[in-house]
Structure 1
Amino acid sequence: MEHHDIEKAMMRNSRRGNPRNNSISRSLSRTTWSMEEVFSGGRHSRRRSSRAVDEDEEALKWAAIEKLPTYDRLRTSIMQSFVETEQQQIPQSDTNKVVVHKEVDVRKLDMNDRQKFMDKLFKVPEEDNEKYLKKFRHRIDKVGIRLPKVEVRFDHLTIEANCYIGTRALPTLPNAARNIAESILGLLGIEMAKRTKLTILKDVSGIIKPSRMTLILGPPSSGKTTLLLALAGKLNRDLKVRGEITYNGYRLNEFVPQKTSAYISQNDVHVGEMTVKETFDFSARCLGVGTRYELLSELARREKDAGIFPEAEIDLFMKATAMEGVESSLITDYTLKRMTKV
């Protein structure tokens, strides 16, 4: 007879008024409840206890990192990994994954650790990139850091060029030699070749708002590239520029615009002997880390004062991408990972 049939029989006897059967029924109910707790509730409690142990272990690791000097603290983070161990308490599963928290030097990550970390943080680059940016924004907002924003304005911008006429404008070796000679004579005030004035941009005004993407549309030779070069402060000195370009109210001659903005040409020149990864790493080292290290220092200081433990994955990525002198950056790994997914 099944367990449910026994329980139904006990319930029928209880309705007939048999006290002995009533006590047996209550005893069976307690036994059933205790067995269900062992195989269901007990499992959940063990899971909760293991999760609490993992959180306590991570908190102890962060507390140990906070006691390090600032130089070492900004280079040390926690890497989480899963290790499969035998689980004897639950017969249904032979193995159980346990979280292991390991202190790592972000400058000395080996290939296996880098690959595991990237696979965990950016499983789907198109989706996880947005999640990472939101977590990054939440972390800096939590301690009250406001990232600087730049507003670019250009008022009544006019750009003109003096061009040669006819075959004199062709890029040939004789013309190049004549250009050199005429430039020398031009210093003496002697003009020999005939030129005409070409207006590339005429009385252009606009505002590029911060935290927005601006799209510039126009037909070929309409001045799109010239406008971008002018905003980046990389115009040819032979061009005549009228008007005003400001970054947050500062003119281009009042600071170094190349440290704030950059113009990326359509034609990139690479070394043929270098692989794609080596090219990215070389470019990253040439660009440097910018203000990421200063931001990380201020962020770590405020989190330490407020007693806030950061998320391990976000902290590791931010620290690894803010270190100078690293031969291979995690930004390169992320870029290659996203390219392979396209």
Structure 2
Amino acid sequence: MDGVERARASGRRPSHSNLSRSISRSLSRASWNMEDMFSVGRQSRRSSLVDEDEEALKWAAIEKLPTYNRLRTSIIKSFAETEVQGNKTLLHKEVDVRKLDVNDRQNFIDKLFKVAEEDNEKFLKKFRQRVEKVGIRLPTIEVRFDHLTIEADCHIGSRALPTLPNAARNMVESALGVIGINLAARTKLRILNDASGIIKPSRMALLLGPPSSGKTTLLLALAGKLDPSLKVTGDLTYNGYELKEFMPRKSSAYISQNDVHIGEMTVKETLDFSARCQGVGTRYDLLSELARREKDAGIFPEAEVDLFMKATAMEGVESSLITDYTLKVSSVQFL
């Protein structure tokens, strides 16, 4: 109990000296609290600066590596328990992206995509910002189809039934058709009639229509996988180039609704096998050019984005990081 409180308890008015002493004690306590707050702030800033310096030193060491090793080495962040209970220290570890174990991949994906829908959008924006920061523009494709009409010659009546006699007759007639002899009567079936539209890059297009309205035929036409026996009229262009001047199969894929996966393989094994068959495409070339420009400009990339890009651009990896990413992002859609 200070002098003011004792004076009030005894019923006397506090003296001027007692009041000044109580005010000085209050100010001293407040100054102590402010010093504690500033000391905590200084410690947090000091620790963040230490982490940044450590990460910069790691990146500087990676930049001195040969190009072949530099494109395969990245930094993974992890927290380690310290001697002080409840405190954790941020560690920056150099890793070979081809030798990430299961725990490292899983921890990385869980940390990067805690909320898959929100964090995936943030990650894609970071990916784009890194590429655009050094002046690289990713290629885009605009698909246009004008007055696209697709017709097929087909049998009519009982002749169109998928029976063994009809199949044998079709083989004989196709052989005779090579020399210009046509025996069976056929009719023209118009599958797609005067369709026009534009598929903009970086957009999602939804194709709706009743059964047998030509949706699959349109998608096959855009992917360049139509049956050669079909008659196609109209214009179909990719960035202004016609189908004969462009290779759509190198930049597009049509996924059939039929299940052609191996039943003995798990979902992860199927995705890993598919990723290895498709290869890395131009991702390695993009990474090489990106790393060269960042080195010339003195830019250190964000560790998470760099690790993901390098891990998904390496060939010969049995279990790819992109498989874990696909499973993490797509799992939200099935819940």
TM-score of the two chains, using structure 1 as the length reference: 0.89
Quick one: distance in 1 between partners of 2:67 and 2:5?
Answer: 70
Please give the secondary structure, in 2, of the residue aligned with 1:158.
strand
Runs of 5+ unmatched residues, structure 1: 88-93
Please give the secondary structure, in 1, of the residue aligned with 2:82.
strand
Q: Pick from 44, 47, 50: which aligns with 1:50?
A: 47
Q: Pick from 181, 185, 196: which aligns with 1:194?
A: 185
- In structure 1, give the amino acid aligned to 2:43: R
Alignment-derived partner of residue 324 in structure 2: 333
Q: Deviations over 1:89-109 (max 9, x none)?
A: xxxxx2201100000011110
Q: Pick from 148, 153, 156: which aligns with 2:147?
A: 156
1:114-133 → structure 2 map (5 Å cutoff): 114-133=105-124
Q: Does 1:111 align with 2:102?
A: yes
Question: How many residues are aligned here?
Answer: 329
What's the CA shift for 1:172? 2.3
What's the CA shift for 1:266? 1.2
Quick one: distance in 1 between partners of 2:213 and 2:31?
Answer: 81
TM-score of the two chains, using structure 2 as the length reference: 0.91
Quick one: distance in 1 between partners of 2:157 and 2:19?
Answer: 115
Name the CA shift for 1:240/1:278 in 2 (closer, same or farther; >3 Å).
same
Q: Deviations over 1:271-294 (max 9, x none)?
A: 111111100111111222222111
Name the CA shift for 1:224/1:297 in 2 (closer, same or farther; >3 Å).
same
What's the CA shift for 1:38? 5.2
Alignment-derived partner of residue 71 in structure 2: 74
Quick one: distance in 1 between partners of 2:330 and 2:148?
Answer: 38
Q: Pick from 282, 303, 306: which aligns with 1:315?
A: 306
- In structure 2, give the amino acid aligned to 1:183: S
Please give the secondary structure, in 2, of the residue aligned with 1:95.
coil
Alignment-derived partner of residue 258 in structure 1: 249
Runs of 5+ unmatched residues, structure 2: none
Alignment-derived partner of residue 270 in structure 2: 279
Please give the secondary structure, in 2, of the residue aligned with 1:86.
coil
Q: Pick from 81, 86, 99: which aligns with 2:83?
A: 86
Name the CA shift for 1:66/1:4 in 2 (closer, same or farther; >3 Å).
farther
Q: Deviations over 1:168-223 (max 9, x none)?
A: 21222222222222111111111111111111112222221212222222111111
Quick one: distance in 2 between partners of 1:4 and 1:50?
Answer: 43
Q: Deviations over 1:133-167 (max 9, x none)?
A: 11111111211211111111112211110001122
What's the CA shift for 1:49? 1.0
Paired residues of 2:152 and 2:189 also in contact (CA < 8 A): yes
Please give the secondary structure, in 2, of the residue aligned with 1:150.
coil
- In structure 2, give the amino acid aligned to 1:199: R
Quick one: distance in 2 between partners of 1:105 and 1:176?
Answer: 57
Q: Does 1:299 align with 2:290?
A: yes
- In structure 1, give the amino acid aligned to 2:236: I
Q: Deviations over 1:282-312 (max 9, x none)?
A: 1111222222111111111111111111111
- In structure 2, give the amino acid aligned to 1:80: K
Quick one: distance in 2 between partners of 1:96 and 1:333?
Answer: 30
Alignment-derived partner of residue 171 in structure 2: 180
Name the CA shift for 1:191/1:81 in 2 (closer, same or farther; >3 Å).
same
- Judge which range, 314-323 or 172-181, deviates more: 172-181
Please give the secondary structure, in 1, of the residue aligned with 2:194.
strand
Quick one: distance in 1 between partners of 2:53 and 2:213?
Answer: 62
Alignment-derived partner of residue 59 in structure 1: 56
- In structure 2, give the amino acid aligned to 1:50: S
- In structure 1, give the amino acid aligned to 2:186: R
Q: Pick from 106, 109, 128: which aligns with 1:137?
A: 128
Q: Does 1:229 align with 2:248?
A: no
- In structure 2, give the amino acid aligned to 1:46: Q
Paired residues of 2:3 and 2:22 also in contact (CA < 8 A): no
- In structure 2, give the amino acid aligned to 1:74: L
Q: Deviations over 1:253-282 (max 9, x none)?
A: 113110011111111301111111100111
